[in-house]
Amino acid sequence: MSLPTVAIVGRPNVGKSTIFNRIAGERISIVEDIPGVTRDRIYATGEWLTRKFNIIDTGGIELSDEPFMTEIRAQAEIAMTEADVIIAVVDGETGITDADEAVANILYRTDKPIILVVNKVDNPERRMEIFDFYSLGLGDPYPVSAVHGIGTGDVLDAIVQNLPNEIEEENENVIKFSLIGRPNVGKSSLINAILGEERVIASPIAGTTRDAIDTHFTDEEGQEFVMIDTAGMRKSGKIYENTEKYSVMRAMRAIDRSDIVLMVINAEEGIREYDMRIAGFAHEAGKGILIVVNKWDTLDKDNSTMKNFEQEIRIKFKFLDYAPIVYVSAKTGQRLNKLPEAIKEIHHAQNLRISSSVLNDVIMDAVAINPTPTDKGKRLKIFYATQVAVKPPTFVVFVNEEELMHFSYLRFLENQIRKAFVFEGTPIHLIARKRK
């Protein structure tokens, strides 16, 4: 589902990251061994009163070599482009500075809701001073002490009140996908090729955010697709558009809105750090993933080229062992016809429901091959398993003691499930729960 976005702006040192961490709370997960972008701590998901939203700390988007004022203005512009609600942070300890006024001046141009947060209001005496901040012209100041968690509840209330109404009715039959990859890997060429190949009338439809334009099309079999816009990949000449953090953030937003992500890699360049972070994020988000190696025409190939390439991918994207790989050329058209097919198969896999009886047969066979682990003389007992969700397929395994379920055994069960059913291209989640 597509989530609304909240962006935090303000000059350095006012406490943006502290507020970001408060709002994102425990939802910033740091998963070991997966180079997910969640560690960058500029993009996370927050939740309050059952409303979920994405939150961006624009302070984390640093523009190297730009003068200080240019940088904070650019960050405010990013907030105005990306967000549905903007949190402008100032410092109650130091009062209003020129930089705060510069930020306010940029924000006057937007009609998006702005919540003015006066941070570092650590004690009641200081509350009286927040009235000075009315002069910024950004509305009522909300006093907060982010380090102590005071006042953040009111800010969250204000965020939720200002979020746009639930957007985009979900149509389960439509496949939403996006093409993600570093600049110049050939995303636009592939998009044009896919649309050309399908010989369909592609019509841009307004997306959930003002500036996102998604492309809607139907293939010959009547399957509907929505290609999610990755507008940030377009070159608009803004100074921040080319920064890696911004491009990563745009990619993350596109991933959030997609069911399936086409991770595009340039055959000439191989896999880069950027690819691993984006892929890690898509994996953590439970999205379907197709690895597309483009510019296949540029390589001098022999019998082992493809095998070697696959090996590199499998080593670098260790956590994506379920993702199929397609080697294509947007230039010559080689294997482009495989893309819609592969997308449809992944969509099928991520929506697959396994009946409990069939699932439990597989689990029991698995336990017969590889007995459950023991710890301090106690053996893990598996009572039964059941699928609780799709997209991604999620299974709960009921056990005697959760602690006895080791990661490696869960991994083994996952492999057995993958051998028994076709879950190619989708992560699957296994959760151990103590039976009540």
Ligand X SMILES: Nc1nc2c(ncn2[C@@H]2O[C@H](COP(=O)(O)OP(=O)(O)OP(=O)(O)O)[C@@H](O)[C@H]2O)c(=O)[nH]1
Annotated binding site for GTP: 10-17, 57-61, 119-122, 181-188, 229-233, 294-297
Chain centroid, CA 225 distance in Å: 20
Minimal distance, residue 105 CB to ligand X, in Å: 18
What distance in Å separates the CA atoms of residue 324 and residue 101, rounded to the nearest whole number?
Answer: 51
Instruction: Tell which one of 4, 186, 425, 427 touches ligand X (CB under 6 A).
Output: 186
Three-state DSSP class for 12?
Answer: coil
Regarding 187 and contact with ligand X (CB under 6 A), the answer is yes
Instruction: Tell which one of 73, 120, 250, 316 touches ligand X (CB under 6 A).
Output: 120
Minimal distance, residue 21 CB to ligand X, in Å: 8
Instruction: Pick the stretch among 35-43, 94-102, 294-302, 413-421 that binds ligand X (CB under 6 A).
Output: 294-302
Instruction: Tell which one of 47, 129, 297, 402 touches ligand X (CB under 6 A).
Output: 297
Burial 403-419 (b: 16+ CB within 10 A, else e): ebbeeebbebbbebbee
Three-state DSSP class for 257?
Answer: helix
Instruction: Pick the stretch among 140-148, 154-162, 284-292, 422-430 that binds ligand X (CB under 6 A).
Output: 140-148
Regarding 122 and contact with ligand X (CB under 6 A), the answer is yes
Residues 3-22, interacting with ligand X (CB under 6 A): 10, 12-18
Regarding 62 and contact with ligand X (CB under 6 A), the answer is no
* Region of residue 250 (left: phi > 0; alpha: psi -120 to 50; beta: else): alpha
Residues 6+ apart with CB under 8 A from 263: 180, 181, 275, 278, 279, 282, 289, 290, 291, 292, 323
Looking up tokens 């994207």 gives: 317
Residues 162-181, interacting with ligand X (CB under 6 A): 181
CA distances from 3 to 82, 163, 207, 216 (A): 12, 10, 12, 20
Decide whether 32 or 98 has the Cβ nearer to ligand X. Answer: 98
Cβ–Cβ < 8 Å for 325, 293: yes
CB atoms within 10 A of CB 216: 15
Minimal distance, residue 294 CB to ligand X, in Å: 5
Instruction: Pick the stretch among 31-39, 119-127, 216-224, 391-399 that binds ligand X (CB under 6 A).
Output: 119-127
Q: List alpha helices for 291-381, DSSP H.
A: 305-316, 338-350, 356-369
Strands 51-57 and 5-9: parallel
Regarding 298 and contact with ligand X (CB under 6 A), the answer is yes
Minimal distance, residue 188 CB to ligand X, in Å: 3
Decide whether 12 or 137 has the Cβ nearer to ligand X. Answer: 12
Instruction: Pick the stretch among 97-105, 251-259, 290-298, 313-321 that binds ligand X (CB under 6 A).
Output: 290-298
Minimal distance, residue 117 CB to ligand X, in Å: 10
Element (H or E) spanning 292, and its range? strand 288-294
Written as one string, the DSSP assignment of 137-184 is SSS-EEE-BTTTTBSHHHHHHHHHHHSPPP-S---TTSEEEEEE-STT
Regarding 46 and contact with ligand X (CB under 6 A), the answer is no
Minimal distance, residue 258 CB to ligand X, in Å: 17
How many residues of this chain interact with ligand X, rule: CB under 6 A?
31
Minimal distance, residue 99 CB to ligand X, in Å: 11
Residues 222-281, interacting with ligand X (CB under 6 A): 233
Question: Is the bond into 392 cis (omega within 30 degrees of 0)?
Answer: yes
Known binding residues are: 10-17, 57-61, 119-122, 181-188, 229-233, 294-297
Strands 85-91 and 114-119: parallel
Instruction: Tell which one of 110, 189, 223, 305 touches ligand X (CB under 6 A).
Output: 189
Instruction: Tell which one of 115, 185, 261, 339 touches ligand X (CB under 6 A).
Output: 185
Minimal distance, residue 175 CB to ligand X, in Å: 21
Strands 141-143 and 382-389: unpaired
Tokens of 134: 């009315």
Residue span 301-340 as binding mask against ligand X, x where in contact by CB under 6 A, dash where not: ----------------------------xxx---------
Residues of this chain that interact with ligand X (CB under 6 A) are 10, 12-18, 59, 119-120, 122, 145-147, 181, 183-189, 233, 294-295, 297-298, 329-331
